Copies of this chain bind each other. A is one copy, B any other.
C-alpha cells in the first residue's frame, strides 16, 4: 500500500487499468458501478464476475471489493461502543455544478470530477456542518470503505498523542523500543524519522516485480493471494519487519515506505499494551461518538496492517477530521491535545521532500509530509490523509472545511485523484468562504 512511488511499476499499471481517459465533455460516460458490471451479482455470480481473495485488488474488481474488504480478508473490529452517536448539523448546498479548473486547463464541474475519479462517497463539512454528502457505486452511509494509507494518519496521530503523554519519545530509536528490530533498517531510526518517512530503508515498490519488497509485504497480508510454491519468506508482520535493511542515512530524504507505519503501530502496541485496533478504539475512535464500527485488515496471525488496513464510514472519517480541525475538541470533550492537532495542521518542511523522488508532483501538487500527514501546495496549504485508489481526509483550516472522499479508482495512483483533488478542494473552500 505504498503511495507516490512514481518510478515504480505504477505508471504501467495505470496505463493498463485506467479506463477514465475520456476528458472532453461530449465523450464522457460515468464509470460503471460494480452492480452495472455484474460483479458479485447472483448466487453464484458468473465465473468471470466472481471476486476472490486472489483477484480483489485488481480493476474492475476493486469497484466491489473496496466496500467489502471484510468479506475477503481477516479483520478486527474497532468498536464504536454503545453511546449514542455524535450528531452533525446539516446545511445542504448544491455544489454539483461548482466548476474548477483542472491542471490541464479544463473547466469541470465538481459532480463530474467525482464521477471521473471513481468516487464511492464524499462528505464535505463546512464550519462543522455537513454541506454536501453523496454516495455512489452502491455505497451507503453505513458502509465501511477501505482507506489504504489514510490509515497512516490515524496511526501518526495516535503516536503523537502517546508522545504528548510522555509515553513515547520521538527522539528515541525504534530499536530501543523493539529489540526485535536489531540489525534491521529500523534499529537506529528515530520515531520522528518513521513519522516523517525519512528513514533510509532499502525498499523497492515495483508492483510488476514479484521479487520486490512490496510483494513480500503483500504476501504477509494476502494482497495478491498466496506466495509462489516454495516461497520461504516471512508470513507474519512481526517476522517481516525485521528483515528490511538500511540503505543510506536516516533523516535526510523523504522516502515513502509503508512498513515505517507498521513499525509505528508496533511501537504503539508495545507501549500501550494494546493491539493497534484496541488503542485506536479507545484513544481516537470511541470518543468521537462514531455512527458505525470501523475495522482493520489483519495478517494470517491476526496482526493489524497499520500501514493501510483501516475501513471506516465516510461520516466517521469526517468526525476524525473535524476533531483535528477543532484543535482536538469534539463531541463535547477533548479527544487529543490541542498541541497535537495544531502540529498536524502546520504545513511541514519541504526540504527533504525532493531528495529521493524526481517528480514535479512533489513541488507542484504536494508540498511536504510530516507525522504521517501530507501537505498540499495550494493556496491554503491544506493538510491531508491520502490513500491509493482515491482515499482522502482533507483538512483546510483556513476555510474550516473537511472533505472525506472514498473511491475505487482503477489505478492506485492517478492524476484525476491525486493531482486534481487539491485544485477541486481549493475551489470548494473559496466558494464556501465567499457564500
Contact = CB atoms under 8 A, between A and B. Distances in A.
Interface of A: 40, 43-44, 50-54, 68, 70-77, 79, 82, 142, 226, 229, 236, 238, 266, 269-270, 273, 275, 291, 293, 295, 298, 300-303
Contacts of A229: 229
Nearest to A271: B43
B76 A74 contact: no
Given A43-B275, A70-B74, A73-B74, 19 more contacts: A40-B302, A43-B269, A43-B270, A51-B302, A52-B301, A52-B302, A53-B300, A68-B76, A68-B302, A70-B75, A70-B77, A71-B75, A71-B76, A71-B298, A71-B302, A72-B74, A72-B302, A82-B142, A82-B291
A70 B142 CA distance: 19
A9 to B, nearest CB: 26
Nearest to A229: B229
Contacts of A79: 142
A302 B72 CA distance: 6
What DSSP secondary structure best describes chain A's contact surface? loop
A74 B76 CA distance: 11
A342 B359 CA distance: 71
A266 B45 CA distance: 12
Which 8 A-B residue pairs are closest in the complex by CB-CB distance? A43-B269, A44-B238, A71-B302, A52-B301, A71-B76, A53-B300, A50-B301, A72-B74
Nearest to A273: B43
Nearest to A277: B71
B82 A301 contact: no
Contacts of A301: 44, 50-52
Contact of A70 (B43, B51, B76, B236): B76
A51 B275 CA distance: 14
A271 to B, nearest CB: 9
11 contacts: A40-B302, A43-B273, A44-B236, A51-B302, A71-B298, A71-B302, A72-B74, A73-B74, A75-B75, A82-B291, A293-B293
A69 to B, nearest CB: 9
Contacts of A68: 76, 302
A231 to B, nearest CB: 12
**Most B-side CB within 10 Å, residue of A73, A291, A295, A302:** A302
Given A43-B269, A300-B52, A74 B71 contact: yes
A77 B67 CA distance: 12
A234 to B, nearest CB: 12
Contacts of A266: 43
A55 to B, nearest CB: 10
A301 B300 CA distance: 17
A88 to B, nearest CB: 15
A269 B42 CA distance: 8
A274 to B, nearest CB: 8
A56 to B, nearest CB: 9
B44 A303 contact: yes
Contacts of A53: 74, 300
Nearest to A275: B43
A61 to B, nearest CB: 11
